């Protein structure tokens, strides 16, 4: 994998670039739709390509390991062949999912024992077998196995957790370097910076990660309940240390406003379930603000869902989408998910354009307040 830094904004740390992987190029800044179980919930890949304009999607190691399982994925030739997505894929290591299984997991130096949320069966993840699992999945970008501590962790727990994450990262890198890709193309490993909301721990983590010389680096453990200003402060702290010539991925973030603020601070890659999850619950994101499509105010509004959006936005009216949600038609969730994902991709594409033009900060200021209001 390579990363070419192309433009930097004169008034901020925002930048554009191109990531080149075995399955294609990714123009940054980029938003990555979450395809947890090998699919983006409710959408076909043709819609992701043609309407959403997705350049890369996510898969999740925990969920894919449990179902369909590694034997099926390896027999299929990896996730790309199994689900027919021919563009880049990134896999989360499953750490966040495992550690969210409070009460049904046990954390040890060796790894983490947990019970499946599907059938209660017992499993054990280690840095080594997670690397092996991600090799079998075949993602272009593999994430390191880390502990994602609770957002309200005190300093002592956060420090202890970071030490474990750093030792696990060393083991991940060793295993990654000892093994070969299975399907004839190269894969990249991204370490993850943890450290909760403590500046000294974030700096220590960023230095440890930067020293690995990986193809790219991630920032984890944010947007888990801390104030947004604290999140932005942590991003700034970390990005002062992470190398500028490698892509930076902010995991699990967030709202359109979060994304623009993070781009301004030098982040290149984003993912979040919010566009699809909120879409399934009738919330649409637009440049004018958020719309609840169950509200009666849309009942006789025959204007397009978004006249500047994707083809489906221009084809269907707000009144029709309101009707679909009231009637509990599955098509409502599908249309809303397509709209939200296409809007997120449009947002980062517009950000890229304004970074290239050299007026990103002024543009961001002109749109950010409207993004958060309710229409």
**114: phi then psi, degrees, rounded to nearest 5:** -150, 165
Helices 256-264 and 228-239: crossing angle, nearest 10°?
A: 30
Do the Cβ atoms of 217 and 246 come closer than 8 Å?
A: yes
Q: Is 103 left (phi over 0), alpha (psi -120 to 50) or beta?
A: left
For residues 243 and 360, give the distance between their C-alpha atoms in angstroms, rounded to a whole number.
22
Q: Which helix (H) or strand (E) holds 21?
A: strand 15-21
Query: Token pair for residue 309?
Result: 């959006």
Query: Token pair for residue 274?
Result: 């919010």
CA angle 58, 223, 54 (to 5 degrees): 25
Query: Token pair for residue 143?
Result: 């994430």
For residues 323 and 373, give the distance between their C-alpha atoms in angstroms, rounded to a whole number.
23
Cα 132 vs. chain centroid, distance in angstroms? 22
Which residues sit opposite 20 in a β-bridge?
A: 2, 25
Tell me the CA distances in angstroms from 193 to 49, 197, 358, one per residue in order.
31, 12, 30
Binding-site residue numbers for substrate are: 92-96, 146, 194, 221
Residue spans of beta strands (DSSP E) within 43-121: 57-60, 89-92, 105-107, 112-115
Do the Cβ atoms of 180 and 136 come closer than 8 Å?
A: no
Q: Which helix (H) or strand (E) holds 339?
A: helix 330-357
* Sign of the Cα pseudo-torsion (324, 328, 330, 335, in order): positive
- Can you tell me whether residue 16 is helix, strand or coil? strand
* Sign of the Cα pseudo-torsion (103, 106, 112, 118, in order): negative
Please list the active-site residues.
92, 271
């Amino acid at each position: 994998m390579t990363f070419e830094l192309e433009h930097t904004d004169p008034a901020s740390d925002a930048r554009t670039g191109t990531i080149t992987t075995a399955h294609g190029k990714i123009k940054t800044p980029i938003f990555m739709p979450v395809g947890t179980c090998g699919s983006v919930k409710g959408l076909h890949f043709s819609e992701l390509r043609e309407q959403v304009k997705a350049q890369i999607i996510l898969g999740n190691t925990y969920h894919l390991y449990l179902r369909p399982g590694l034997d099926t994925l390896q027999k299929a030739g990896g996730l790309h062949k199994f689900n027919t997505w021919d563009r880049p894929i990134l896999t989360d290591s499953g750490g966040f999912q495992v550690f969210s299984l409070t009460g049904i997991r046990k954390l040890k130096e060796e790894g983490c024992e947990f019970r499946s949320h599907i059938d209660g069966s017992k499993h054990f993840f280690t840095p080594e077998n997670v690397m092996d699992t991600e090799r079998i999945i075949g993602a272009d970008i593999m994430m390191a196995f880390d502990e994602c501590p609770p957002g309200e962790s005190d300093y002592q727990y956060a420090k202890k957790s970071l030490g474990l994450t750093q030792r696990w990262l060393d083991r991940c890198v060793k295993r990654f370097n000892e093994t070969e890709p299975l399907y004839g193309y190269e894969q990249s490993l991204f370490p993850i910076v943890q450290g909760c909301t403590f500046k000294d721990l974030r700096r220590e983590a960023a230095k440890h990660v930067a020293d690995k010389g990986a193809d790219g680096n991630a920032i984890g453990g944010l947007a888990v309940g801390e104030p947004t200003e604290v999140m932005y402060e942590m991003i700034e702290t970390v990005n002062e240390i992470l190398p500028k010539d490698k892509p930076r991925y902010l995991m699990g973030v967030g709202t359109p406003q979060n994304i623009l603020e993070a781009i301004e601070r030098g982040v290149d890659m984003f993912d979040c379930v919010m566009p699809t999850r909120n879409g399934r619950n009738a919330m649409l994101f637009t440049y004018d603000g958020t719309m609840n499509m169950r509200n009666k105010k849309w009942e006789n509004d025959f204007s397009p869902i978004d006249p500047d959006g994707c083809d489906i936005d221009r084809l269907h009216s707000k009144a029709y989408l309101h009707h679909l949600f009231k009637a509990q038609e599955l098509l409502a969730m599908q249309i809303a998910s397509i709209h939200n994902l296409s809007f997120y991709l449009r947002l980062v594409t517009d950000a890229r354009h304004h970074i290239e033009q050299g007026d990103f900060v002024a543009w961001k200021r002109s749109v950010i307040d409207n993004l958060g209001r309710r229409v």
